[in-house]
Structure 1
Amino acid sequence: MDKLLKLIDENLQREELDVDYLCKNLFISRTGLYQKIKSISDQPVGEFIRTARLNKGVYIMTHEDINLNELIDRIGFQSVSYFSRAFKKEFGVTQSQFVQDLNKKKQLLE
């Protein structure tokens, strides 16, 4: 499992990071990979990768001053529109709303 998470984290920027890429690099069958990921996350492999990308994106947004285009390049999304749809589906708010809410919370703590 540690190998899986490390492989995903180190290759998030690669567009070719998908089921086949993981199977090839982990020396595991597609079925084995699906079973492993489903057992720990209750998600299909593609969704698991997308969630990892989005979580890394949140980490980057909260720790670095970065523009959206650079962010999506670093986490392997092909377009801003796809990133925006996926982000809203995952977190229930847009990326800009998320950042605004985060900034409001920071101000309250200061």
Structure 2
Amino acid sequence: MRYMDSNYMTDINVDNICKLFSFSSSHFSRLFKQNTGEAFSRYLSKVRLEHAIVLLSNTDKPIDQIAYECGFKSTSYFSYSFKKEFLVSPLKYRMQMKG
């Protein structure tokens, strides 16, 4: 989890993590879910979205730049994930925070 918190902006996936820490993917996935209560991909998405919130709240960076800096491969997927998690688009969230 610390590795994910430090490397969320890179192309992290289960296979990379398993090679890095010498786990089989099924064993790693099972342990990860037992310890976090969430699947690996869900946890990673939450970490990325938490960093996006900080950038949306504290910078004027364009949303597409924030998406890529937080490890999302496309702005549309970032917007979809953000809205699914927070029930508001990244742009509306920023506007609400700026008041």
- Bucket of the pairwise TM-score, normalised by the shorter protein: 0.7 to 0.9
Q: Where does residue 17 of structure 2 map in the other structure?
A: 22
Normalising by structure 1, what TM-score?
A: 0.77
In the TM superposition, residue 45 of structure 1 has moved relative to its aligned partner by 1.0
Q: Which runs of 5+ in 1 are unaligned?
A: 105-110
Structure 1 consecutive aligned stretches of length 4 or more whose deviation exceeds 3 Å: none
Aligned-residue RMSD, C-alpha: 1.7
Name the SS of the counterpart of 1:93 in structure 2. coil
Say which of 39, 44, 49 aligns to 2:44: 49
Q: How does 1:87-106 map to 2 (within 5 A)?
A: 87-104=82-99
Counterpart residue number, 2:72: 77
- Quick check: 82-91 or 23-32, which moved more? 23-32
Aligned residues between the structures: 99
Alignment correspondent of 1:68? 63
Alignment check: 8 A CA contact 2:63 2:90 kept: no
**Deviation string for 1:14-60 (max 9, x for gaps)?**
23x11111112222232332223212432211111111111111122
On the 8 A contact 2:8/2:48 being kept in 1, the answer is yes
Distance 1:37 1:63 in 2: 31
Gaps of 5+ in 2: none
Q: Does 1:6 align with 2:2?
A: yes
Larger radius of gyration: 1
Retained in 1: the 8 A contact 2:68–2:75? no
CA–CA distance in 2 between the matches of 1:41 and 1:63?
Answer: 28
